[in-house]
């Protein structure tokens, strides 16, 4: 199956377990892989035969900027669910990172990854 990868979506949001994370916020980085049929656009060269990935970028940015969930697991699930509502997308993989998680003596980043498939029916 064909896919489109969108990497490096970086935005500021307010999801986090600690109260200060929901008040002060922090940076998030999101990578998205979308599975869909690219053959029609490959033949027609028409944007209406593919997915305009600007829609995905703005969806991710909106959810990160406006959500105030306690857990990043909830945020990543919301992103995946919203993207799967797009007609062309059959499966989505999301990688969400907190590059500066507020954990004492930890300079790394925390990354979650989920893969979700559209239910048939």
pTM above 0.85, yes or no: yes
Told to judge if 43 belongs to the known catalytic residues of this protein, a careful annotator would answer: no
Alpha carbons within 13 angstroms on the beta-carbon side of residue 37 total 8
Share of the chain above pLDDT 90, in %: 84
Residue 15 pLDDT > 70, yes or no? yes
Question: Residue ranges of the domains in the chain?
Answer: 3-117
CATH topology of domain 3-117: GTP Cyclohydrolase I, domain 2 (3.30.1130)
Mean pLDDT of 20-32: 94
Q: How confident is the model at residue 119 (pLDDT cuts 50, 70, 90)?
A: confident
pLDDT at 10: 98
Beta bridge partners of 67: none
Of the residues 65, 98, 109, 118, only one is catalytic, namely 98
């Amino acid at each position: 199956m064909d896919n489109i990868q969108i990497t490096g979506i970086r935005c500021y949001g307010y999801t986090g377990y600690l109260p200060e994370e929901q008040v002060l916020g922090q940076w998030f980085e999101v990578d998205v892989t979308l599975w869909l049929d690219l053959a029609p656009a490959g033949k027609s060269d028409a944007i209406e035969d593919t997915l305009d990935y600007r829609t995905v970028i703005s969806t991710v940015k909106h959810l990160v900027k406006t959500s105030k969930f306690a857990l990043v697991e909830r945020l990543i699930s919301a992103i995946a669910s919203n993207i799967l509502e797009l007609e062309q997308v059959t499966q989505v993989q999301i990688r969400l990172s907190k590059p500066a998680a507020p954990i004492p003596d930890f300079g790394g980043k925390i990354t979650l990854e989920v893969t979700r498939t559209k239910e048939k029916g």
